[in-house]
Amino acid sequence: VFEYAPAPESRDVVDIRGSYGLFIDGEFVDGHGEPFKSINPADESVLADVARADETDVDRAVKAARRAFDTVWGPMPGRERAKYLYRIARIVQERARELAVLESIDNGKPIRESRDVDVPLVAAHFFYYAGWADKLRYAGFGDDPRPVGVAGQVIPWNFPLLMLAWKIAPALACGNTVVLKPAETTPLTALLFADICRQAELPPGVVNIVTGAGETGRALVAHEGIDKVAFTGSTEVGRQIARVVAGTRKRLTLELGGKAANIVYDDAALDQAVEGIVNGIFFNQGHVCCAGSRLLVQEPVADELLERLKARMATLRVGDPLDKNTDVGAINSAAQLAKIRELSEAGEREGAERWSPPCELPAQGYWFAPTVFTGVAQSHRIAREEIFGPVLSVLTFRTPEEAVTKANNTPYGLSAGIWTEKGSLSLWTAQRLRAGVIWANTFNKFDPASPFGGYKESGFGREGGRHGLEGYLDV
């Protein structure tokens, strides 16, 4: 069902220059704030002028969502809602090429990823949750679970479309209506998705998209007409949102940062582990909350593994996101590039050894070469803080106990990876790791049927799978 979209043939497939409005009550409308520009991070060219929603626009969107909830979407039988979700999934497949190109030029990610990972997973989420819409009473939430109401959803820029799908598909399946704010550096595919909602003849007001920066997000989560807030982004903003929501009747789920350990035992299949490590940290330029940003390798194989890893890193192609052969694309924004540089410099200052393969980065745009730090201590900032870029910190361990202690030595708890041929060791390790998602002999695998979410400062609540319905239902 989830066929990969054909590759775009040229960079002219999508012409998106122009001005883009907010999507409220089924229509594209102007915003009252000062419009902002969306930039192509690969060459810093301006892609589009985008409307900025102020409080009055957010208020209109929330009211439209409430009306749609009360009059059409809430009362609609689940089997009818399912039809709309299936229709959206199919249109996403039909327009996959357009979505993939737009995602790559707005975000900077390689077209191979947006085409083969992001967009197919978006369709998969809508198919998956369409299947739940008429079976909610079998989901184990009691006989007659009800939608919560209007969901206010704020998403980041690393997987603009996929995060939208994670948020919107379960909300709609349960009978909620939505006001979603995409990130300010990647608003375009959310607006294309709004067009898909129109094409699917989704009733007006069921999905509303308000573009803007942090103030727009703040106005949305603070609006008293919102019943449920769902946020993915930085731990710091997650904390701010938790404070705003505290003391209100609103429900909250947070999916925040991570500092995942990828643990390689000395019996692991090393070439396979190298592929997993590369995928774990260089996929999507490392702009991944569950990225395997700390490599923990058992001492006897550390030298051998690093040698193979460096050889593999030297084959990575960094460059034009629209080139089908590109492995590592552009860093999403100047601000994110500055953060990656700052933390990498801190790594050098604190005494870790930095290495990147020789690679020529384009002169224009935001770029950072794949980088590995060895000789990293647990106290180093690059071992503790989320870098959110293509930068790997390598630490070593002797015993499984030490691996577990080091892996858990972080305020985060989103994901982890384990590489060993011994099933018993894999289970022993997994049972002791404090992380919401644990992969064994693979990394960064996603499936709509599988719940995703964090422990500790990585947030709470789950998205995906049956568990992903919980935040959107009253029992």
- Closest distance to ligand TXE from the beta carbon of 334 (Å): 12
Three-state SS sequence of 267-317: CCCHHHHHHHHHHHHHHHHHCCCCCCCEEEEEHHHHHHHHHHHHHHHCCCC
Smallest distance, ligand TXE to C-beta of residue 133, A: 27
How many C-beta neighbours within 10 Å does residue 138 have? 9
306: phi then psi, degrees, rounded to nearest 5: -65, -35
Q: Does residue number 463 form part of the binding site for ligand TXE (CB under 6 A)?
A: no
Whether 359 is catalytic is: no
| Residue 150: closest CA among 133, 175, 120, 181 | 175
Which residue has tokens 């102007």?
A: 30
Between residues 87 and 287, which has the closer beta carbon with respect to ligand TXE?
287
Can you tell me which of 32, 146, 308, 339 binds ligand TXE, judged by CB under 6 A?
339
Query: Half-sphere exposure (CA, 13 Å, Cβ side) for 312?
Result: 19
**Which x/- pattern over 245-274 shows residues binding ligand TXE (rule: CB under 6 A)?**
----------xxx-----------------
Q: Could you say which residues in the range 266-325 bind ligand TXE, by CB under 6 A?
A: 289
Residue 165 in contact with ligand TXE, rule: CB under 6 A = no
Assigned token pair, 332? 């999403």
Q: Which of 103, 113, 184, 255 is catalytic?
A: 255
DSSP helix/strand/coil, 460: strand
Alpha-carbon distance 133 to 170, whole Å? 8
Q: Are 253 and 241 in contact (CB under 8 A)?
A: no
Q: Of residues 63, 112, 181, 462, which one binds ligand TXE by CB under 6 A? A: 181
Q: Which of 184, 289, 386, 470 is catalytic?
A: 289
Q: Which range of residues in 18-26, 86-94, 234-242, 391-399 is near ligand TXE by CB under 6 A? A: 234-242
Q: Under rule CB under 6 A, which residues in 380-439 are in contact with ligand TXE?
A: 386, 388
The angle formed by the CA atoms of residues 225, 228 and 232, to the nearest 5 degrees, is 125
**Nearer CB in complex with ligand TXE: 336/396:** 336
Task: Give CA–CA dist 253/189, Å, rounded.
Answer: 23
- Catalytic, 255? Answer yes
DSSP 390-459: SEEEEEEESSHHHHHHHHH-SS--SEEEEE-S-HHHHHHHHHH---SEEEES--S---TTS-B--SGGGE
* Candidate segments 141-149, 237-245, 346-354, 462-470, binder of ligand TXE by CB under 6 A: 237-245
Q: Which of 217, 276, 451, 464 binds ligand TXE (CB under 6 A)?
A: 217
Kindly state the smallest distance separating residue 83's Cβ from ligand TXE, in Å. 30
Residues near ligand TXE, by CB under 6 A: 154-158, 181, 183-184, 213-214, 217-218, 221, 232-234, 237, 240-241, 255-257, 289, 336, 339, 386, 388
Residues with active-site annotation:
255, 289
